[in-house]
Amino acid sequence: MKTHRALVFPVTWQSPMLDWLLREFRLLVNESIRIALKEDIRSRARLVRAAYKGLSATHVVYKQYIPSAFEVALSVLKPHRRRLKRGKRSSTPYIRKLMLKAENQSYRLDPKTGRLRIPIRAMEAVQLHLPLSEWHQSFLSDPSWGLGSLTVVPGKIILVVRRGAPRPYEPEAAIALDTNEDSLDGVVASGERMVPTALPFDGVRAVQETHFRRRRRLARKKAGDRRVMCRLLNREGQRERHRIHQRLHRISKRLVQFAESRRAAIVLEDLTLHGAGGRSRRMNRRLSSWPRSMIHRQIEYKAALAGVPVIKVNPAWTSKTCPVCGARRRDRVGKVFVCLMCDWEMDRQINAGMNILKTALASNEALARAVRFQPGALRHDVVSPLYDLFRRGTGAREEPSGVESRPGRGLT
């Protein structure tokens, strides 16, 4: 398995040649989109056969950019075709933004100095300088990270670095977590015991509420001037995203470290399976503004780098099922889940975490061998923050020494 990171560099240039190349590339992509649509082409190989000759005769750019443009064109077409297939409306797509995408054999980068050479056409190239920070250098000087594609857009250069992730270890424990608005909640389970736990999000919700109020106020105040309003709203949104990102990174890092120290698998809901129908407008705003998928993404890539296995389960009924007897409640569940069949009672979010674990155990043999599911023992336990469990070393395993020297650590 491969993991990727995108390194972003703010770069401006005064090069009419590079500007010309970006315009040419945009043209190439848009022409490729038209050809692929007309001839119903879905693979790069077929697009190469159908369009390479014609396009390389009319566009005198470095030849390797043409297949890159095909790649971009097909990735733009994918969601368009999906919408059509579902019977939704979709207009023929084209890219508006100036851009260039170069594969790693096209450009040259000196990882020490950040000097970048981008070919324009045969025998012609431009030189740019990427401002390398220490963080960037930690990737570029590490031979286990290889260079991937390079994307140039006005004002910004994005360099993808990639490396093979270690094989995930065989889990000896599990951390099953339900994703809520302001925390991840669930259980840590090993061969001996199961402990309820919570991983709070350091006030992410408060940040979101403040920014939501501010955006409302701005929108009202600047309602007369759309241009100013958009600019201010964008800036507010960026600030909010930045603040939330930072908090979530801290949390996902801790979770993965904790899992690694226990040789535990992380079990989460598969959020892509959530249907969107039948929710109120307010609930929709809360769900969409809440970057739940963001914390999942962070957990997944950090786990992949550390070799921590991640198991995703179908979230259907996790909050409405009794983990002891399996009975379901069809009505609204309050703060505490109460089973009508047996006398099970549990905090709703911890209860959902237990169901997530139970689902994972049913489908994953390795995990089922390592972990015992005993809800009864958990009944009177107090919910402990994951950090406390980390510090106390509760559960199967003490912190192994030498963890700090493992690869993949500290790259967050």
Residue numbers of the site for Zn ion (CB under 5 A)? Answer: 322, 324-325, 327, 339, 341-342, 344
Provide, rounded to whole angstroms, the least separation between the CB of residue 374 and Zn ion: 15
Give the nearer residue to Zn ion in terms of CB position, either 72 or 356. Answer: 356
DSSP per residue, 274-317:
---TT--HHHHHHHHHS-HHHHHHHHHHHHHHHT--EEEE--TT
Provide, rounded to whole angstroms, the least separation between the CB of residue 6 and Zn ion: 46
Task: Calculate the alpha carbon distances from 236 to 8, 216, 244, 289, 364 in Å.
Answer: 21, 11, 12, 14, 44
Closest-CA residue to 375 (of 404, 353, 401): 353
Provide, rounded to whole angstroms, the least separation between the CB of residue 310 and Zn ion: 29
Closest-CA residue to 292 (of 317, 312, 309): 312
Cα separation, 187 vs 104, in Å, equals: 44
Give the nearer residue to Zn ion in terms of CB position, either 258 or 344. Answer: 344
Give the nearer residue to Zn ion in terms of CB position, either 201 or 344. Answer: 344
Residue 125, helix vs strand vs coil: strand
Provide, rounded to whole angstroms, the least separation between the CB of residue 336 and Zn ion: 13
Provide, rounded to whole angstroms, the least separation between the CB of residue 186 and Zn ion: 18
What's the CA dihedral at 349, 355, 357, 359 to 10 degrees?
A: -150
Task: Calculate the alpha carbon distances from 357 to 36, 70, 180, 213, 252 in Å.
Answer: 45, 43, 16, 37, 19
Provide, rounded to whole angstroms, the least separation between the CB of residue 267 and Zn ion: 21
Give the nearer residue to Zn ion in terms of CB position, either 107 or 344. Answer: 344
Give the nearer residue to Zn ion in terms of CB position, either 68 or 349. Answer: 349
Residue 160, helix vs strand vs coil: strand
Cα separation, 76 vs 97, in Å, equals: 13
CB atoms within 10 A of CB 273: 11
Give the nearer residue to Zn ion in terms of CB position, either 36 or 357. Answer: 357
Give the nearer residue to Zn ion in terms of CB position, either 30 or 355. Answer: 355
- Check if the beta carbon of residue 184 is closer than 8 Å to that of residue 29: no
Give the nearer residue to Zn ion in terms of CB position, either 8 or 341. Answer: 341
Provide, rounded to whole angstroms, the least separation between the CB of residue 354 and Zn ion: 12
Query: Who's near 49: CB < 8 A, 6+ residues apart?
Result: none
Provide, rounded to whole angstroms, the least separation between the CB of residue 321 and Zn ion: 9
